[in-house]
């Protein structure tokens, strides 16, 4: 190969492409011909006119693509994708969208804003989320013409408007209800601001059980019975609810709330979950001398594992080696008795793995002795049978109050009755729990509500009721107090189309049931209803009443009244669980009226237009 020619670089150039090209020198060492460049790689001659580098770039791209790829793209040169896009003709709509945004009064803008409002409400996120750059960028990618309003618009306009629209719907719905019940409770937010909630429950015209959170109101006054009574009475008035239609109000055993309800002379039911909690707490307290050490050791070792990643890692390995379930230990909570039982049960389950992890002198004090284990087994035997009852009676979507009487009978006569295999400690705890539960429901007004509810449930009827005749008499008296017209079957169906009478219609025996005195009709319904066999225990009593309301027009009205009562005050506790997600540490300064609106919308989100 011939020796490469020494080339002269062109002076005063800025393009990087000249690194690969030069000129043959003359006798003075200057470019001999500026119109003829030489490739430094292959020494090819490239025609260059007036310093234009297009031919140079073409040669490099064609013959030396690797080197060409190292060159920067010339300023103003579009990419291949841009060139391809430019070749496509832009439509009128696309061209228009690049330069305009939706008018705020347009349907499209209102639809998108309503969707953002619903997102803020249902996901319980801060109003300032709409001003986050990433959120705005995301919406722009979805629709370039939509410009999302600022947080002030959503806080001061969008959410209040949505609240008012849903409020009107709720008022209309509860106005059509024949009867309603209520649950209420007190709550303090993260910054210790006190609130009182009110939730109503009712059966609709199609025999569906509904729950609606009406308000979560700021309660700045002292929580005396007088002030709480005034707050509850005002809440009903604000929602145009007639106190005469109130079947019952369910609360916990807080002295101030109970006194407030008594002052209002409203029918009252104490929360089954709270009563069960008190029964368990008293049962454990009565045997504290025998259980304190074992429960203390159980709590200490569970805390040790919850605070140490290394111990949890070693526990997982031990569980795998011993073929035990891969379960974490559970730490108890003082306000939830069920967690104590779950803690004890889990420790007993994982005891072999726990001993393997703590098998050293440093942790010997955390390992329960055989006496401790015996105590834990006795406690678990007493508490485990009642662990599921609270959850089963805490629902809002199905009837619960009618099951309280049967559940109490099952607990006192079966589940909590001493067994031959029970040790003395287990029997003592069970006896104390039975005593507390019976005391909580021994008041005559409570027994009256529970007996009527149980009788009107076609799953139970007269079963589980100590004096069925007394309950029938009480229902008969209540039927006689119904105003004329109240016994008409409730229906949303269209009236039947009148047809021409036939000979068969004229000869058909004429019924005179409606002309009979109300007492006679009521006696007849009570007798016929009592004689029927109970339906399946898993059946829905409301569906049975929907299908049989024309057979029992008087009793069906009382079923509307008593089937809507809640056995627990759990619905109000659910309100506050949601409120805690809204009034979070990052939103602790949320305005009081906004708290009420956001909790109301979050709890009634099914009423928001989609």
Q: What is the rounded average pLDDT for all residues in the chain? A: 87
Q: Kindly report the backbone phi and psi dihedral angles of residue 18, in degrees, each rounded to the nearest multiple of 5, phi listed first.
A: -70, -10
pLDDT of residue 31 exceeding 90? no
pLDDT at residue 499 tops 80: no
pLDDT of 311: 93
pLDDT of 321 reads: 94
CA 37 to chain centre: 76
Mean pLDDT of 470-493: 74
Mean of pLDDT values over 247-267: 95
Determine the average pLDDT of the residues in 370-394: 88
- Please determine, for residue 484, whether its predicted confidence score (pLDDT) is greater than 80: no
CA–CA gap between residue 597 and residue 559 (Å, rounded): 33
Q: Please tell me which residue, 59 or 212, carries the higher pLDDT value.
A: 212
Q: Give the strand order in the sheet containing 36-39.
A: 21-22, 36-39, 45-47
Q: Confidence band (pLDDT; 50, 70, 90) for 79?
A: low
pLDDT tens digits along 288-311: 999 999 999 999 999 999 999 999
Q: Does 493 score more than 50 pLDDT?
A: no
Question: At 17, is the pLDDT very low, low, confident or very high (cuts 50, 70, 90)?
Answer: confident
Residue 489 has pLDDT above 60, yes or no: no
What's the burial of 52, exposed, middle or buried (CB within 10 Å: 0-12/13-18/19+)?
Answer: exposed
Q: Which of 114, 242, 20, 58 is nearest to 601 (CA)?
A: 114
Question: With 70 as the cut, is the pLDDT of residue 475 above it?
Answer: yes
3-state secondary structure of 324: coil
Please check the confidence at residue 77 and state whether its pLDDT lies above 60: no
Of the listed ranges 67-76, 275-284, 326-335, 372-381, the least confidently predicted one is 67-76
Of all helices (H) and strands (E), which one includes residue 198?
A: strand 194-203
The strands making up 209-218's β-sheet, listed across from edge to edge, are 209-218, 194-203, 180-188, 246-251, 268-270
Q: Which of 300, 576, 534, 526 is nearest to 403 (CA)?
A: 534
The torsion defined by the Cα of 547, 553, 559 and 564, in degrees rounded to 10, comes to 80
Most confident range, picked from 25-29, 70-74, 347-351 = 347-351
Give this prediction's pTM.
0.77
pLDDT at 16 over 50: yes
Residue 23's pLDDT band (boundaries 50, 70, 90)? confident
Residue labelled with tokens 């008593």? 562
Q: What is the per-residue pLDDT across 36-63, written as a single tens digit (0 to 9) for each?
A: 888 888 888 888 876 677 788 888 888 7
Q: Is the pLDDT of residue 492 over 50?
A: no
Please report which confidence band the pLDDT of residue 191 belongs to, taking 50, 70 and 90 as the band edges: confident
Number of H helices, E strands in the chain: 27, 8
Q: What pLDDT is stored for residue 1 in this prediction?
A: 39
pLDDT tens profile 550-579: 999 999 999 999 999 999 999 988 998 899
Number of Cβ within 10 Å of residue 96's Cβ equals 11
Measuring CA to CA, which residue among 519, 270, 219 is closest to residue 408?
270
Residue 511 has pLDDT above 60, yes or no: no
Question: Mean pLDDT lowest for which of 50-54, 80-84, 161-165, 605-609?
Answer: 80-84
Percent of the chain residues topping a pLDDT of 70: 89
**H/E element holding 272?**
helix 272-285
What CA–CA distance (Å, rounded) separates 540 from 435?
32
Identity of the highest mean pLDDT range in 3-12, 15-24, 427-436, 461-470:
427-436
| pLDDT mean over 462-470 | 89
- pLDDT value, residue 32: 79
**Burial status of residue 250 (CB atoms within 10 A of its CB: 0-12, 13-18, 19 or more):** buried
Report residue 5's pLDDT band, with 50, 70 and 90 as the boundaries.
Answer: low
Asked if residue 486 has pLDDT above 80, the reply is no
Percent of the chain residues past pLDDT 90, beyond the cut:
63
């Amino acid at each position: 190969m011939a020796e490469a020619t020494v080339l002269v670089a062109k002076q005063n150039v800025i393009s990087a492409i000249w690194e690969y090209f030069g000129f043959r020198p003359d006798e003075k060492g200057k470019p001999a011909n500026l119109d003829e460049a030489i490739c430094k790689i292959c020494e090819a001659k490239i025609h260059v006119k007036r310093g234009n580098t297009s031919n140079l770039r073409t040669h490099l791209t064609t013959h030396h693509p690797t080197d060409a790829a190292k060159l920067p793209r010339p300023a103003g040169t579009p990419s291949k994708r841009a060139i391809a896009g430019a070749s496509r003709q832009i439509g009128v709509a696309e061209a228009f969208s690049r330069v305009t945004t939706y008018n705020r009064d347009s349907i499209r803008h209102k639809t998108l804003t309503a969707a953002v409002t619903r997102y803020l409400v249902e996901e319980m996120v801060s109003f300032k989320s709409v001003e986050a750059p990433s959120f705005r960028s995301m919406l722009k990618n979805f629709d370039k013409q939509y410009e999302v309003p600022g947080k002030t618009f959503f806080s001061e306009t969008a959410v209040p408007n949505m609240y008012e629209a849903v409020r009107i719907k709720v008022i209309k719905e509860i106005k059509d209800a024949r009867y309603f019940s209520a649950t209420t409770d007190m709550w303090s937010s993260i910054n210790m601001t006190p609130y009182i909630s009110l939730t109503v429950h009712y059966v609709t015209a199609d025999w569906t059980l509904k729950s609606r959170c009406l308000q979560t109101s700021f309660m700045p006054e002292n929580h005396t019975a007088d002030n709480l009574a005034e707050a509850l009475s005002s809440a009903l008035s604000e929602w145009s609810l007639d106190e005469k239609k109130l079947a019952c109000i369910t609360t916990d055993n807080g002295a101030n709330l109970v006194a407030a309800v008594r002052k209002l002379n409203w029918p009252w039911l104490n929360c089954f979950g709270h009563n069960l909690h008190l029964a368990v707490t008293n049962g454990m307290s009565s045997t504290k001398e025998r259980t304190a050490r074992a429960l203390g050791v159980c709590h200490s070792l569970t805390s040790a594992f919850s605070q140490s990643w290394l111990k949890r890692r070693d526990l997982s390995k031990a569980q795998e080696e011993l073929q035990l379930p891969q379960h974490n230990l559970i730490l108890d909570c003082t306000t939830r008795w069920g967690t104590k039982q779950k803690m004890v049960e889990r420790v007993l389950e994982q005891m072999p793995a726990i001993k393997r992890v703590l098998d050293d002198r440093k942790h010997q004090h955390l390992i329960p002795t055989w006496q401790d284990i015996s105590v834990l087994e006795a406690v678990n035997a007493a508490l485990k049978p009642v662990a599921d009852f609270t959850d089963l009676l805490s629902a809002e979507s199905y009837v619960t109050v009618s099951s309280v009487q049967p559940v109490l009978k099952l607990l006192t006569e079966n589940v909590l009755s001493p067994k031959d295999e029970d040790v003395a400690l287990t029997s003592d705890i069970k006896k104390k729990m039975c005593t507390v539960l019976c005391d909580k429901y021994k008041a005559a007004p409570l027994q009256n509500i529970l007996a009527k509810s149980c009788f009107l449930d076609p799953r139970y009827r007269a079963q589980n009721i100590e004096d069925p005749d007394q309950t029938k008499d009480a229902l008969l008296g209540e039927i006689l107090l119904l105003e004329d017209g109240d016994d008409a079957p409730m229906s949303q169906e269209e009236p039947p189309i009148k047809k021409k009478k036939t000979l068969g219609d004229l000869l058909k025996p004429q019924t005179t049931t409606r002309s009979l005195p109300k007492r006679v009709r009521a006696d007849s319904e009570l007798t016929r209803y009592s004689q029927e066999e109970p339906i399946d225990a898993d059946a829905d009593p409301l569906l049975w009443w929907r299908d049989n309301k024309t057979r029992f027009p008087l009793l069906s009205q009382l079923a509307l009244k008593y089937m809507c009562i809640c056995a627990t005050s759990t619905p109000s506790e659910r309100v506050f669980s949601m409120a805690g997600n809204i009034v979070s540490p990052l939103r602790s300064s949320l305005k009081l009226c906004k708290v009420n609106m956001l909790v109301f919308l979050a709890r009634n989100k099914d009423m928001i237009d989609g």
